[in-house]
Amino acid sequence: MGKLGLLFRSAGWSAVRAVSCAASLGAVLVWGLVPSAAQATSVQRARTVPVPSYTYVHDPSMAKEGRTWYLFSTGDPSGLVNGGDIQIRESTDLRSWHLVGTVFPSIPAWITNKLGPIPNLWAPDISYFNGRWHLYYAASTFGSNTSIIALATNATLDPKSPKYRWVDDGEVFSSSATDDYNAIDPALATGPGGSKWLVFGSFWSGIKLMRLDAATGKPTSASPKLYSLSEAPSPDAEEGAYLVAHGGYYYLFVSAGYCCKGIGSTYQTIVGRSADITGPYLDPNGAPMTEGGGMELLGSSQGMIGPGSPSVYVSSSGDLIVYHYYDAWDNGDPWVQVRRLYWSSSGWPVTGPPMVPVPGSPLAAG
């Protein structure tokens, strides 16, 4: 999880520093609410005007509905875009992304009541089951494990649909300063028999997994069993995990190293696999990920520094991996990247070329 987040430019859209955009952002974002005081949960509908001069993304998660791709990402830490709420973008080609709104008009009050003032929400994960879209996301402060994983649901991802309503389903799980784990960077996984699981974690004691009730999308008990999937030596710089099934194995993708430092970022994406969703996860050399193992899948190259916070889109026409990185050609500004994800004859993932060359690089110019 990129816990601070930075500025980003997608293909055809120019990013600028947040300080230069405060006035224009406040003028162009328009929101409408449809809440009911009698309702137990908050139901909200967003309308927006795209903001071509400013885009911000970190920790991307992607889904497709109809012919449109939707990208969810960490909220703006400056608070300029709806108080730092989870951002949503659309694309029809996976190359040019257009801002279309945020999940809520602002951070839900129950979160700030529990955590105090926070600048933004983090690391969304979008998935579809039980006839609804489920968006898991996190709330915390940088360097703290007093954290919350929360859930929002919707019948559709299309903001133009009359059925478009994000429902605030509240808290899923939390951690405190007395815990040895950190409840951020959630990602849904499907296990045996369609069972639902949530992988999460950042620093502290690494990556954890817990089972969910498939009907509610929340833990099966008030004190769910936590499985340790991946851990590195102190300070245990692993986070932003994702689980996907393929060819009889479960593959665990993990962001190892440090994000949010521009061209000084050391993020890389590593992977291990297991025959059981609860582990153990091993790399090709048989090293357990709970003992610092993991095969590098994505490292810094072609001007893309610190690639991490991956999520995988699985489909019959081919798998995709989406992640953020820092542009070596442009002061370390973060960008989003999508690649094809292939599988070798030995069953290990291999990434294809980037769909969009790093803007500003000779490859992009040529």
Which active-site residues does the annotation give?
Answer: 59, 239
What's 24-38 look like in SS3? HHHHHCCCECCCCCC
| Alpha carbon separation from 79 to 26, 93, 120, 137, 289 (Å, rounded) | 11, 29, 7, 17, 36
Residue with tokens 């991996």: 321
Instruction: Supply 300's token pair.
Output: 């810094």
| 114 three-state secondary structure | helix
Which residue type is seen at 104?
F
Instruction: Supply 180's token pair.
Output: 């040895």
> Among 14, 106, 86, which Cα is nearest to 51's?
14
**In sequence order, which ranges of 74-126 are alpha helices (DSSP H)?**
109-115
DSSP letters of 225-254?
Answer: --EEEE--STT--EEEEEEEEETTEEEEEE
Asked if 124 and 59 touch (Cβ cutoff 8 Å), the reply is yes
Instruction: Supply 124's token pair.
Output: 């969304």
Fill in the DSSP letter of residue 365: H
> Among 89, 88, 92, which Cα is nearest to 67's?
92
| Alpha carbon separation from 24 to 16, 50, 103, 175 (Å, rounded) | 12, 12, 20, 37
Please, what is the Cα angle at 27 between 22 and 28, to 5 degrees?
A: 105
